[in-house]
Structures are given as C-alpha cells and as structure tokens.
Structure 1
Amino acid sequence: MPGVRAVLGADVVIVGAGPTGSALAVRLSDDTTPGAARSVQLLEAGPAPATCDAVPPEVLDGTRMAAARPGHALNWSFTGKVAPGTRRPVPRGRVAGGSGAINGGVFIRGTREDFDAIAALGHPDWSYERVLPSFAAVEHDHDFAGPPHGRRGPVPVRRTFPGSASPLTEAFWAACRGLGYPWEPDKNAPGPPGVGPVPVNVVSGIRHSALLTHLLPHAGRPHLTVRGGVLVRRILFAGTRAIGVEAETEGRVQVVRGDEIVLAAGAIGSARLLLLSGVGPADELADLGIRVVHGAPAVGRAVTDHPGVAVGITPVPSAVPAARTAVVEAALHAVSTAADEGTGARRDGDLEIMPYTAPFTELIPGGAGTPPGEVAFGVTLLRTASSGAIRLASADPHAPPLITYRHLTSAADRARLREGVRRCAEILTSAPLRRLTASYGGPPAAVLGSDRALDTWIGERVSTANHLSGGCAMGEVTDAQGRVHGVTGLRVADSSILPRAPSRGTAATAAMMGEHLARSFPPTLES
C-alpha cells in the first residue's frame, strides 16, 4: 500500500486518550505485579503532552472552558441537529484527557437508579453496589471520607461550601432552600436529590483532567506508549478478528497491530469508527461503499443526551467576583411532577438547575452563548424518552459524522423541560436572587403561563448538555465487558456502551468506567 508503513504493535491498542481510555491504559500497563503488565499503545488524535510544561493553558484553566469554542484546535467542533430545524455546536475534546480536558469540571457520579437499571437489563456487574468500588478507586475526595468515597485515587474532588461561594451561588442556595428544596451536601452519596455544592475536579483553578491525573504521572512507564497526533481511520480485520488499526500521523499512514483493540474514542468517535470499519447497519454501510465485516443494526443508534436551555439574568456587578475558582459551584436536582413517558418513575432527580459563576462571554471567550454580561442558569432534563443516532456522511474518515438528537420529540420530555424552566424562573425571581439582579432574561410571565408559548421559547433556545451516551450499547452491540458482538479481539470502553445517558454529567462515570472495565480483562489476553 503506497505511503503505508507498519509499526511495532502492542498487546493492547487503545484508541482515544479520554478519561476512560487513559484510566484503562494505566491499569492495563501496570507493572507493579511481575509478569502482569501488558504493553499498551494509547493513540490520541490531538496533542498528548509528555510534560506538565507542555500542557496547553486552556487545558489547565478550570475557571474557563476556552477550548470549547467552536473552531478551537483542541476541539473536534462537531455540530448536531438537537431538535427539528435546530443545529448546535457539539464540543468534544481533541487532546489527551478528551472532553474532560475542556469541560466545566463537574464530577458528579451517576446515580444508584442509573446503574441498577443497567443491571436489570442482564448486566449484574454494572449494579450500583458493584460499580461503587470503581468510583471510589478513581477519586481523592477532599471533603468527605469513608464509604462511598475514595481518598487514594488520582482524581482530586472538591466542593465550594456555603460561606465561601460567590454571591450568586449563595443567593441560589438561599432561594432554593426558601422554596422548600432539601439540602444535599454530598451529591456523590446515595440519597434523595436536592440543592447543594457541586463536586468538581478543579483545585485552585486547575482542571485535573485524565492528562494530569493518569497519563503524566506515568510518563515513561516501560509498558505504556502514549502517542498524540495519531488519527485512527479504521479498524483492520482478518476475517472477523480485529488485528490492528490504520492511522494517520505526520502525513503518513501507519498500521498499528494489537492482540486486543479497544475503542475509547467517546460516544461519537467509537460508533463512528465501528461504522467506518464495516461494523454497523449493513444497508447503510453498503450504500457508502464500505465492506461489511459484521452487520450490526444497533451501532450508532439509541444515543441519548440531556436537552437543556439557559435561563439568564444580568447580575449587579458585585454579584460576580473578578476571581473565581470553578465554572460551577452549585446545582439543584429535583424530581419532576410531569408525566414520565417511557422512562418509568424516577426518585433520583430528572431535573437539574445549575448556575454558572460568570457570563459565557467570560467562560468561553469568543464562543456563542448568552448575551454579554448575562449569567446563565442551565435547566437540563436528565432522563429523556427520546433518543437519536450517529451516522456517517461518507466513507471519508475525515468527514464529520451526522449527529441527530431528536430532543423535544416526546410530549413527556417537553412537559418536564417546561416544568424545569418554570421552577428556574421561580428561583430567579425570588427575593435572594432578585436583590442581585439588574435585569431578568428569562421567559416573561405571559410565556410561562402558556404551554404552547413556553414550548416555542424553549424550542428556539434548546441545546444539549454534551453528555452523549449510547450508540454501542451493551447487550445490543457489546457484552458487559465491552466486547463487540460478532467479531473478536475488539472492545469498546467509553460511555457509548451505556444503554442510556446517566442522570448526571458523564465525567465521573467515564473515569469510573476505565477502572471498572480494566477489571474485566483476563490475566492474559484471550480471543
């Protein structure tokens, strides 16, 4: 093949250095037990700094999300159809650390109900009690000790408590408490939802992504090779056995061979690579001229995320301090009273209201968002009846995928998001926040009083929380260990194997998954 050179492979080739892939690579290459370590090549499309001094400032700065701006070099800058007629940017990290290197640092675990629902589908190893040790293993909680928390893991977790938060956060807490919402001091412990501080992996303003917590501490480990600037184009098969990947780096095409190939490219990237490699809906692949290795209709299907809207206020200047330590400090989780079509009763909270600590014009310089000076209160629906899909636009590995969310296509979802916006408006117009508000940018009373008018208001503003999950769901595409059905030597290890998006942000769950899935690898690799 012209321009192609084979390179020495590894026992395990992992595609994607996000939170799951990084944690998995570190665990599998651990050489502290003689004879137990595997050689691992971790391939990342974006840069993979080998020293702390080389880490981009946008990755370190946990008080902003500068790299989430569309077009930024560390952002894949996808777009997606979030609702009929509405497209939005879909930021995904293109750097070691993955999307966790450019996000807001929220580190809330998925809930007991999330994981017990997976176990109920026939995957008992994913019950809440069984994933709890993996959650604890990845964290060093600075605020809470003892079960269910960890104090020896690589990811620092901290919270901002009352008395040390920004004026807006303090007022938000007071408003929610005044309206009867219960106090929830620890959102990573099981218990009823409420309002409280948000656990983050941002300490002293530094975002502790997987690049800092997993990869740099193990730079130079003999069995681990981390390679940045490597764009994987497709998986290579001998029959139905995965034997390596075809990748581009520095203008050359390489073949990287491995006994086990693991896709950890995220809910967009992993499904996309399966499709490009001939694993997916056979008719769609054939239409694009892609040779079908294994017909798998569920690849790229049933993807879920969290739809949301921003309700804003322009605060008085004293409410937004010049210095901040995190993008978010507080959140309210509540159970909706609206019908929950197709998703069952939830006790863990299907609505989230989260105030940001500064205007988006400061948090994402140069990015689109709320008007200058306006601080957003994100209203998010955490459990949806609708789902979307990821498809290929062409067989070109450089072409962005087609991402469709289908938000707001369910009447129940629309009802619950309306309820969330109305609850947010009630909080923003209550006395504690009204004292700090120069102008209110949310829906006026006439809109709040009409379901039809509020649906229109939401539809014009709806976006997505970038917590995409599914597309390679366990049970349909993989087994509970991430092994892809219909082929051998190939696994998926990221949020795409979750049957549904967890009902909180995905960062903590993604980090846990690397630890949890590592335990499923046998002492020696088997086909």
Structure 2
Amino acid sequence: MSRRPDVVVVGAGAAGAVLTARLTEDSDRNVLLVDAGPIPRGKDGFGPALLDARLVPGALPNHPATTAHPVRLTPERPWLVTRGRVLGGSTTVNGGYFIRARREDFDRWAAASNPAWAYDEVLPFLRTLENDLDLGPSQLHGGQGPMRIRRGRIAHPAAVAFRDAARHLGFPADPDKNDQAPPGFGPVPSNAVDGIRLNTGLTYLPPEVLDRPNLTVLGGWQARRVVIEDGRATGVVVERDGGRATVEAGSVVLSTGALSTPHLLQLSGIGPRADLERLGIPVVRDAPAVGASFSDHPQVVLDWMPREDLDAPAESWLGGCLHLPCAEGGSDGAGTRGDLEVLQSLVPMAGLVSGAVSIPGAPLSFLASVQTPRPNGRLRIRSADPGTSPDIDYNFLSAAEDFSRLREVVRVTAALIDTPPFADISHGLLDPGPEVLNDDRALDRWIRDHLGTAQHTCGTVPMGPLDDPGRGAVDQFGRVHGVRALRVADTSILPDAPQRGPAATAVLIGEFIADAMRRGRR
C-alpha cells in the first residue's frame, strides 16, 4: 500500500473479514487488515484438517489456530475460553452452527436506543450475506450471498432417533431454524457444506479479494493499543516477535472479539475511569459500560451410550437440534422464547478434543444449554501491560432461575434419551442418574460440578445511548462514544447475547457496519 490507509481493521474474524471485504469493494478506499494469527490463502492454505466440518478445532487443547482466555464461570469453576486466532477467527474453529438470532432479540436491541437493529431493518442484510442452498432466494432467505448455508440431513441413526424422540414427547417440527416460526426440533443451518467448514476467510476473503490493490493484509501482528490524538483515533500500536510499530490510518475499526476488544479499548484509555486511573492508564474516555456486563450461554454435556458403535458422520459433527421455551419463564418473562437448546453431537466428545471423528466404545453426547439473555458477566483490566489477561467473571449460577432453567433442559434431555425411539439405539444416559435427576438439590450440585459455556460471549462494548454511558459504549453503527474515527464491529456491541449461537449475527455485524461506513455514517 503506497499511502496511509483510510481504514485499519483490527481482527480478521467473523465480522472483521466481512467488513474488510465489503469496504474494499470501493476501489477508492484503502484498507489495512491486521490480525494476530496467520492469513491462509484459500482452501489449500487452511488445509483439510482445519476445515473438516466433522471436527471442532476450537475444542482441541492448545490448537495453534486458537488462543485461550482464562475465565471464571463461577467463583469455584475456572475455565479456558478458546477463540480463533487465524483468518476467519472463530468461524474457522467453531462447529459451523449458523442460526440467526430471533426477532425478539433484534427488537430488544432496537428498543435499547438502537432502532436500526429492529428485525425488519436487518432482514435485508441477513438475506445479503446468505446463499441458502436448501430453500433458495425468497423474502426471508438470500440466494447469492457469500455464506453458503445448508441444513444437516437427519440421516445418521442417532439423529433419526433424536427426531423421533422429540416427536414422541410432542415437540413441534422446526424445519427452518432461520425463520421466525415457533421453536422445536429440526436440522441445524450450517456454513458446513459437503463436509467443509466454509469460514469467513474462505467466503469473504478468498485469494482474489486478498489480492485487491486497495487491500493490505498483515498476519502475525498483535494489536496493543489504539493511538488517540485530540479525541480522534489515528492508528494502532502493533507488536510482533517483541518488536513494536505504529500503524497510522484515517480511522480504526476493532473486530478482535468480545473478550479482546474491550481489553484493547481499556488499554487505550477507554473504559471505567476508576479502573484505568488505578493502573496509571491515561483516561481518554470514561466509558463505564466497557466490560461492565456481558452475557453468554451456560451449558452442560450429557453423555449417552449407543447399543453398538455407530458410523462416523459423513459431513458434520452436528446432528439435530431442539429448541423449547422454559416452562416457568423466570422473572424476566423468558417463557415465550425457545431459549432452551438441546444440540446433538454425532462425534464423541473424546473425539472432538482429540481430533478423531470416531472412537469405538465411546459415548455420544448432547450439549444442553440455556440461551436466555442474562448480562451478568464482568471483564476488568488488571494491568497496563497488554500481555496480562483481564479478569473475566461469567457470574453463571448467580440467580435461582439459572439453576431452574438448567435443571429443566437437563431433564428434557434425559427424557428424550428415555423415550422408546431413542432407547432402540441407546443403553441410556450415563450421568446424572435417576436419584440425582429427581432431586433438585442433588441436580443443582451436579450442574455446578459439570458447568461449561457455549462460548457465545456478547455485550462487553454494548451499543446504546450516548447520554447513558453506563449502558452504551458505542452507537448502533459501532462508533465509540466520545472518540472520533473509532468503531467496534464484533459481538461485543450486542447489548446481550441472542437466544441462538451468535456466529450468524457476527457476520451480520460485519455487513451492517460496513454498509454504515460506505453510506458515510461517520
């Protein structure tokens, strides 16, 4: 690139790759994309092991395409949350689940002073990003977008048994989880096609886009701080192999993810004043909402034993998926939503964490989660040294309804496994046993000991009103309040987590904010 870039995009993941591709469609805009991980070129650059949709690279400990964030799910339960560190970000290492947020999610975000995020407003972007290989173009679905979407076939014996068990218990069919029909059982819309996980690096930044003359891409450079002069972002300090450099640009967009972006803002002097002053970081913008309350989806794994070894899945690790509303709803009125999820794995958990699609004699699993938006987490900077991880507390199980909803989804999963259709292929649920399932206190202890996370963090830099800095750190177009020429474009801007996994919404964010920038909403 012969001149200073007009925009530097930090992070080439689910949203950053999308944003970069769309911005560089304007030939008069020079863009620099910086990422901490490598930038493979095309399928050959990624290699088959990373793209095999029957596996989840993010589940492998210390996978070179990931980075691990130490967190606490509860005060007694430390955890490592892995995120992608490669072109495509977490879309390269996740499960390929690509389900849209629900209408009520978008309308809830719109009501929080973000009217452009109402469902009817964002639906055109959802269509633009999508090529629905099953249903084709319509008023609901796109047919020409970069993200090729296919629903997994319900053909594997375990998936067929799950479908029949759901029918046996009276759950409705939910054949298209990307429409807004009542929740139920159905196949999983996925960006895994013909066994290949089509991440945003492949779909939005293939070699022909990477070679655009107005795009420069730097892999292996870690962003350390945004440079802000007189209230305006003018560049980014980056580091590689111990050496630092400053990249100057006309504007900066942070797309490093919901755990890294707030930390980078705090290192740059944008965050809660007291935390920054305590660490000697000059305060650029007192932004108490940065890191103050985020949400994620608590999850437990329930293992069951097949009566005989089943064939490895042909194309994806994903089986069927059941969404259902929790019976009681809780104090936040969540009972009308399909906010409980039972997701089926056709690969043993032992295989997902070891890179094998089949392990003879191993149990298979359901991933049972609560997807009610509950922004109770907190992320706080601990040191002015960018190499020191922030303190991240998910604050799961902090309310009675957290337990009641997890109890319900565990018991529904156990009931599915216990139906005659499922019993035909299964010896039954391995754990918890009936004596635990039938005792609330015992089941609560089991949940506390087996708790995990779906790794769907959102809301660490929430969009909201300028006049309420405790609720809003950016506006609805990702512009950081009080700092010119600085935006955020990743799931950190969502006020809370959607009721579905956020991968599709992350891609939407890239499309949405790129459109805002191209339309001159500066």
TM-score, structure 2 normalization: 0.94
Deviation at residue 416 of structure 1 after TM alignment:
1.1
Deviation at residue 62 of structure 1 after TM alignment:
1.3
Q: 2:401 aligns with which of 406, 412, 433?
A: 412
State the SS of the aligned residue for 1:379.
strand
1:493 maps to 2:484 = no
Runs of 4+ in structure 1 over 6 Å off: none
State the SS of the aligned residue for 1:244.
strand
Q: 1:147 aligns with which of 116, 124, 139?
A: 139
Deviation at residue 450 of structure 1 after TM alignment:
1.3
1:158 maps to 2:120 = no
Deviation at residue 451 of structure 1 after TM alignment:
1.1
State the SS of the aligned residue for 2:225.
strand
Deviation at residue 293 of structure 1 after TM alignment:
1.1
The whole-number CA distance in structure 2 between the counterparts of 1:350 and 1:422 is: 15
Alignment partner, residue 338 of structure 1: 328
The whole-number CA distance in structure 2 between the counterparts of 1:453 and 1:406 is: 21
The whole-number CA distance in structure 2 between the counterparts of 1:173 and 1:522 is: 45
Between 1:212-221 and 1:96-105, the stretch displaced more is: 212-221
Counterpart of 1:208, as a letter, is L
Deviation at residue 115 of structure 1 after TM alignment:
0.2
Gaps of 5+ in 2: 465-471
1:479 maps to 2:475 = yes
Alignment partner, residue 429 of structure 1: 418
The whole-number CA distance in structure 1 between the counterparts of 2:335 and 2:144 is: 32
Q: 2:81 aligns with which of 74, 77, 90?
A: 90
Alignment partner, residue 165 of structure 2: 175
Alignment of 1:297-308 (within 5 A): 297-308=288-299
Deviation at residue 464 of structure 1 after TM alignment:
0.5
Alignment partner, residue 211 of structure 1: 201
Alignment partner, residue 3 of structure 1: none
Q: 1:523 to 1:189 in 2, by over 3 A?
A: closer
Deviation string, structure 1 residues 133-186 (Cα, Å, up to 9, x no partner): 111111111111212111100111111234xx2111110000001100000100
Q: 1:127 aligns with which of 118, 143, 147?
A: 118
Contact 1:67 1:73 in 2 (8 A): no
Contact 1:386 1:407 in 2 (8 A): no
1:275 maps to 2:266 = yes
Q: 1:228 aligns with which of 212, 219, 244?
A: 219
Q: Paired residues, what number?
A: 511
Q: 2:34 aligns with which of 36, 40, 43?
A: 43
Counterpart of 2:18, as a letter, is A
Alignment partner, residue 185 of structure 1: 175
The whole-number CA distance in structure 2 between the counterparts of 1:8 and 1:494 is: 27
The whole-number CA distance in structure 1 between the counterparts of 2:328 and 2:520 is: 51
Alignment of 1:42-61 (within 5 A): 42-61=33-52
Between 1:282-291 and 1:263-272, the stretch displaced more is: 282-291
The whole-number CA distance in structure 1 between the counterparts of 2:360 and 2:303 is: 9
1:24 maps to 2:19 = yes
TM-score, structure 1 normalization: 0.93
Contact 1:76 1:93 in 2 (8 A): yes
1:461 maps to 2:456 = no
Alignment partner, residue 329 of structure 1: 319
Q: 1:502 aligns with which of 498, 501, 516?
A: 498
Deviation at residue 401 of structure 1 after TM alignment:
2.4
Contact 1:352 1:381 in 2 (8 A): yes
Q: 1:242 to 1:25 in 2, by over 3 A?
A: same
Contact 2:234 2:250 in 1 (8 A): yes
Deviation at residue 522 of structure 1 after TM alignment:
4.8
Q: Percent identity?
A: 41
Counterpart of 1:374, as a letter, is P
1:389 maps to 2:378 = yes
Alignment partner, residue 9 of structure 1: 4
State the SS of the aligned residue for 2:259.
helix
Q: 1:143 to 1:304 in 2, by over 3 A?
A: same
Deviation at residue 430 of structure 1 after TM alignment:
0.9
State the SS of the aligned residue for 2:178.
coil
Deviation at residue 123 of structure 1 after TM alignment:
1.4
Counterpart of 2:461, as a letter, is C
The whole-number CA distance in structure 1 between the counterparts of 2:508 and 2:346 is: 27
State the SS of the aligned residue for 2:436.
helix
Q: 1:365 aligns with which of 354, 361, 369?
A: 354
